[in-house]
Chain A
Amino acid sequence: MKAVKIVMLSLFALVIIIPLIAVIFTTFKSTSEVFSNILDVPESFSFDNYVSIFVDQPMARYFMNSVIVTLFSVTFTIFFASLIAYAITRMFGWIGVVFFSLFTLGMMVPAQVNMIPLYQLVFDLGLTNSLLGLILVNISVTMPVAIFIMSGFMKSIPKSLFEAARIDGASEWKMYRRIAIPLSIPSIAATSIFLFVMHWNDLLYPLLFITKNEYKTLPLALLEFQGEYATNYPMLFTGVLIASAPMVLAYLFLQRYFIEGVTAGSVKG
């Protein structure tokens, strides 16, 4: 059993590490080297690509824009969604189900369909070429997933805890803050990781709403390495790696809350 476990874990790790190495190698290669064999060790390890990506483009600006958009989008999605998830799980009768369905529906609509009407709306509101517009749309679009995940977890909080608090005269707001949130920390962390990835990599909405260089986010900037017939893969992957760094950090930071979550869980038990 133990052996099976180790074999499976290492196999899967290998399946991820090999392509990952290929990506890292690519950033040190010339275009022609990439096409000969993607797994070969690069001829030389020069950081030219890394340097030129910062020299040729206002990367710091794009980075900043991405950070602002992602941070605000994640924070507010989590905040609003946790309020709604709490309300849905606490609501009596069919009303909770109706709201749950209404929000869940949001996950099911293909983005391509909303795109044209949404663009019109955002333009009419004067929110194109603004980070605020992007953030507001991001929050609305990812809230359903967040509500979906968090309400799933909040449902498993024993009802008796809320009843007991109610008898002590606690308001809903207090129960949300003192019971629901602390007991949902692991799921909030999991959801935040989801959202980080989604917002950080999102391309569709920046593509639609941002046309000025000063408001571009990273994924939008990376597109410039893709040509009609030829893509500059070494530069593209250098950009991808640089762009992934903050998410690795975010992951490691949020990972802490899984560990804290266990402690919270045991207090509850």
Chain B
Amino acid sequence: MMKKWVCISTVALGTMLAGCVGGSGGGNESEEGGGGEGTISFIHWRGEDKAVFDELIAKFEEENPDIQVDMTIYPSEQYQSTAQTLLRDGSTGDVFTSFPGSQMEIINQAGLFEDLSGEEFLENYNDELITAGQIDDKQMAVPLQLVFNQPVYNVGLFEELGLEPAEDWEGFLALCQELKDAGYTPIAFPGSDIGPGQFMNSMMMNNAPEEDIFERLMAGEAKLTDDWWVQTLSQFQELEEKGFLNADSLGTNHTSAISQLANEEAAMLASGSYAMAGVKEINPDIELGLLAPITTEAAEAEWEGINTTTFMLAVNANSEKKEAAKTFVEFLSDVDNASTYANETGQHVTVEGVEYESEELKSTSEWMDRNTRFQPRFLITNADIERAVIASIQSVIGGDTPEAAAEEAQQIVDENLE
């Protein structure tokens, strides 16, 4: 027994030493052999986009034989926690992506964005749609994706019942009532994960039409206990109490909510345009559209919907291969390549002149010209406050009064402002 043990550990130690030598040797080899200075690292969080990026990278490497792209994909959670750390030393993420909001803020504070102002490829983009990537008039990053964070609905079902998206709150409630009477769940609300953070945007956009509302909240000038938020919360409560949200919505996740819309149990899905591809995958025959609840009188409504420009391409300021990195960003900004990306991932892009092929993308393209507002939630740059805002929605749906929930959330805001 004993001899065996000693034997095993000696062998292991030996192999390990051999392994070390082999390991480090292998590392050097790849750096010299694998294109050396020409290999750039590209990191992002879109697992769904792996196939199309593999294709685009192959094309890029063909066009630029001295640059190789090493792509690493992280799930969005892990990306948000580790990306900044990895970027810091310049070895990883020559080209990287950033979320708008708090992540962009922190990366900027650490000086990791290479200023892209004046780059030629910026002209390929729709000017108005890339402002989310600007800080102090400098273009730090270029958002590539455009999504609409408002409910998706079953167009066929609406037509069948003779319904249309409503123009005011009364109308929206009446619409939900008719859907309910017809035996459908009016709104599938994924309350356990992304639902509150997504639906809040369209629910509050007209209750607080000023775009700087959250900026003022964080400056202590506005409060969650003010009318605009209490009103929003009581409208959430109204939807819940009238049975317009799916049963046990706080226990429902996005996956499950998607299947409720796809299986035609629910008529609307309170997440965003990005969910359409998932719905279509389950039920290819369903016809989908976007709508947004108008929470005020029709005349008072300033906004029609919500947009987010995200997946912001950026070049690492600490990178040693900035030129190669910019070449890759330029490549992705090209109309043809952006079209490939858009059509294969089913997402809108901020690049101008892209031809959308799928029905969904075509039918929702009109929203690009509608009066939509940048996702208010992303303008909350303090994550604790963002969570408090979201929690107050869950709290109301869980049975608390809007006033109490607003009070509790405001307390957390106050704690964070001190």
Give A residues with C-beta under 8 Å from B: 31-32, 35-36, 68, 71-72, 75-76, 79, 115-116, 119, 123, 128-132, 135, 177-178, 181-182, 185, 207-208, 211-214, 223-232
Q: Write the nearest CB–CB distance from A60 to chain B, whole angstroms.
A: 16
Q: A123-B89, A177-B2, A230-B277 are in contact. Are A223 and B47 (CB under 8 A)?
A: yes
Summarize B's interface: helix, strand, loop or mixed.
helix
Q: Which of B23, B274, B283 lies in contact with A131, CB distance below 8 A?
A: B23
B48 touches A227 (CB 8 A): yes
24 A-B pairs with C-beta separation under 8 A? A32-B262, A35-B259, A36-B259, A72-B12, A75-B8, A76-B12, A119-B85, A123-B91, A128-B91, A135-B16, A181-B5, A185-B1, A207-B74, A207-B78, A208-B82, A211-B43, A211-B92, A224-B73, A227-B46, A227-B47, A228-B47, A230-B278, A231-B255, A232-B47
Chain B residues whose C-beta falls within 8 Å of the C-beta of A119 in the assembled complex: 85
Say yes or no for B247: interface residue by CB 8 A criterion: no
Q: How far is the CA of A186 from the CA of B26 in the complex (A)?
A: 38
Summarize A's interface: helix, strand, loop or mixed.
helix
Chain B CB count within 10 A is highest, among A36, A129, A226, for: A226
Chain A residues whose C-beta falls within 8 Å of the C-beta of B278 in the assembled complex: 229-230
A226 touches B16 (CB 8 A): no
Q: How far is the CA of A99 from the CA of B49 in the complex (A)?
A: 50
B74 touches A131 (CB 8 A): no
Chain B residues whose C-beta falls within 8 Å of the C-beta of A75 in the assembled complex: 8-9, 12
Say yes or no for B351: interface residue by CB 8 A criterion: no
Q: How far is the CA of A46 from the CA of B322 in the complex (A)?
A: 46
Chain A residues whose C-beta falls within 8 Å of the C-beta of B2 in the assembled complex: 177-178, 181-182
Q: Write the nearest CB–CB distance from B391 to chain A, whole angstroms.
A: 21
B74 touches A223 (CB 8 A): yes
Please report which residues of chain B, range 1-33, place their CB below 8 angstroms from some CB of chain A when the two chains form the complex. Answer: 1-2, 5-6, 8-9, 12, 15-16, 19-20, 23-24, 26-27, 30
B254 touches A229 (CB 8 A): yes
B48 touches A230 (CB 8 A): yes
Say yes or no for B251: interface residue by CB 8 A criterion: no
Please report which residues of chain B, range 363-406, place their CB below 8 angstroms from some CB of chain A when the two chains form the complex. Answer: none
B12 touches A211 (CB 8 A): no
Q: How far is the CA of A207 from the CA of B281 in the complex (A)?
A: 30
A36 touches B263 (CB 8 A): yes
Name 6 extra pairs, CB < 8 A, besides A223-B73, A223-B74.
Answer: A32-B262, A223-B75, A224-B73, A228-B76, A229-B275, A232-B47
Please report which residues of chain B, range 221-263, place their CB below 8 angstroms from some CB of chain A when the two chains form the complex. Answer: 254-256, 258-259, 262-263
A228 touches B48 (CB 8 A): yes
Q: How far is the CA of A116 from the CA of B81 in the complex (A)?
A: 10
Q: How far is the CA of A79 from the CA of B283 in the complex (A)?
A: 55
Q: A32-B282, A181-B5 are in contact. Are A131 and B262 (CB under 8 A)?
A: no
Chain B residues whose C-beta falls within 8 Å of the C-beta of A71 in the assembled complex: 12
Q: Which of A31, A177, A223, A225 lies in contact with B78, CB distance below 8 A?
A: A223
Say yes or no for B102: interface residue by CB 8 A criterion: no
